[in-house]
Amino acid sequence: MKKFMHKALATVLAVASVSSLAACGSSSSSDDRKITIGIKFDQPGVGFKKGGTYTGFDVSVARYIANYMGYEDYQIEWKEAPSKQREAMLQNNDVDMILASYSITDDRKKTVDFAGPYLVAGQDLLVRSDNTTIKGPNDLNGKRLCSVTGSTSAVVIKEKYSDKVQLMEQPGYAECATALFSGIVDAVTTDNIILAGLAANSRGRLKLVNAPFTQEHYGVGIHKGNTGLAQQINAAIKEMVSSGAWQKAIEDNTRGTGFSPDKEYNPPKATEGEGK
């Protein structure tokens, strides 16, 4: 009965807040309601579009949140949210929320708000499956390391761990993975769950080192000042964790990669954005 009342209250709150969701339909008909969510389209295991299908851990969390708020799957409109466009998409009301490997930072909070976090990821390394010498960021001197243009991940390694590493930038992680396949580079670096998705997509040719050395708090980007929406999202995340759906989503999207969220930080407590 308690869970039923919780669900019912969430549905009432969702309906009451329709006017604050920029992309939701203005009609009172439930068939006309929609919620627009920004995700990545090019990160296997995190946010990935293939044909008309959307998969990945971010997608699983976003779908759970939307369902918790009273939206059916067919009422979710997915939009691609490239890293450089995320703040602008929220400020321009192009989306209601963004789940796109979106780390909560003080700088970003100057222009947008966050709910969550729903995952604490960590920077890690991806190597070829037969590699036995690279076990962490200190093992990269004299090696070639790939990261995506605009990312600071490789710079962190060069400045803090291996100052003689050779850096290569590519426009996307798929290109970094291709360079790793072919032997052009020795490792790829970014957040571990993104690397796990690449490993899962590699048919056993790549593996995650699984030795994270930073903490990245993934949040749900929302419009500035919308504490009511943050509360609903956080309640959904908490229920997802307590129901076991969060752990299942992790396992389903990273199966066979060796990825395991750092238990010291995961699952995280979702309290961001509530104005407390």
Report how far apart, in Å, the C-alpha atoms of 82 and of each of 86, 134, 206 are.
6, 30, 25
Whether 54 has a pLDDT exceeding 50, the answer reads yes
**Tens digits of residue pLDDT in 161-190:** 999 999 999 988 889 999 999 999 999 999
- Report the range of poorest mean pLDDT among 8-17, 50-59, 100-109, 240-249: 8-17
Provide the 3-class DSSP secondary structure of residue 192. Answer: helix
Provide the 3-class DSSP secondary structure of residue 23. Answer: coil
**Tens digits of residue pLDDT in 14-48:** 444 444 454 443 334 556 899 999 999 989 999 99
Domains of the chain: 35-121+216-254 (3.40.190.10), 123-208 (3.40.190.10)
The secondary structure element, H or E, covering residue 3 is: helix 2-16
Whether 271 has a pLDDT exceeding 60, the answer reads yes
